[in-house]
Amino acid sequence: MAVKFVSSSKLPTEFGEFSIHAFEDSNENKEHVALVYGELAANEKILARIHSECLTGDAMFSLRCDCGSQLREAMHRIAARGNGLIFYLRQEGRNIGLSNKIRAYHLQDEGADTVEANQALGFDADERRYEMCLPMLEHLGVSDLELMTNNPLKVDALQKLGLSVSRTPIITGENSHNKAYLATKRSKLGHISE
């Protein structure tokens, strides 16, 4: 199997105590984690988020995107519900990598939108993949998700893997620095704002 479970431990956070489960993806030579809060019952719909790594937004609190705000909101909602999970996937910059993401930022500083910047660098608008979630979900014993996302492509990708997935919006973090970015995600990437 390309994606294998490595280990897990407790992860105390400002939102409560999660457990963190590490997985290695030998196909991509990447490590992904699942953050689990509370007990995940196999026969219930689990509140979840698939979150692609965003160093600038998640760790440096950048206002250029809504990533960090969405991650915090997802953790808050899961803790408030009493259970749920977050997949933190190592797919920086829609899977173009950190250095290329900074190059794309530079192009955006010069007037390109996020899609145009990625394409100018020779990438598709969004190169992320989600099939690594299936073995992670199987390990956790989950197959029915209420996915916190504005991106219908995530829902479609998981449904194509045979999972039962419904969508709930996660609208948060809009500001003057990312207003155009969020508009581009809606107009060019099909994100839903409700």
Number of structural domains in the chain: 1
CATH of the domain at 162: 3.40.50.10990
In a domain, 65, yes or no: yes
64-118: pLDDT as tens digits? 999 999 999 999 999 999 999 999 999 999 899 999 999 999 999 999 999 999 9
pTM: 0.93
Check whether 42 has a pLDDT greater than 90. Answer: no
In a domain, 116, yes or no: no
Count of other CB atoms within 10 angstroms of residue 19: 14
Check whether 28 has a pLDDT greater than 60. Answer: yes
In a domain, 175, yes or no: yes
Name the residue range of residue 40's domain.
3-91+128-189
In a domain, 81, yes or no: yes
In a domain, 70, yes or no: yes
In a domain, 104, yes or no: no
Show Cβ contacts of residue 180 under 8 Å, excluding neighbours closer than 6 positions: 113
In a domain, 154, yes or no: yes
In a domain, 109, yes or no: no
- Known catalytic residues are 126, 128
- pLDDT tier for residue 1 given thresholds of 50, 70 and 90: low
Check whether 159 has a pLDDT greater than 70. Answer: yes
Count of other CB atoms within 10 angstroms of residue 137: 22
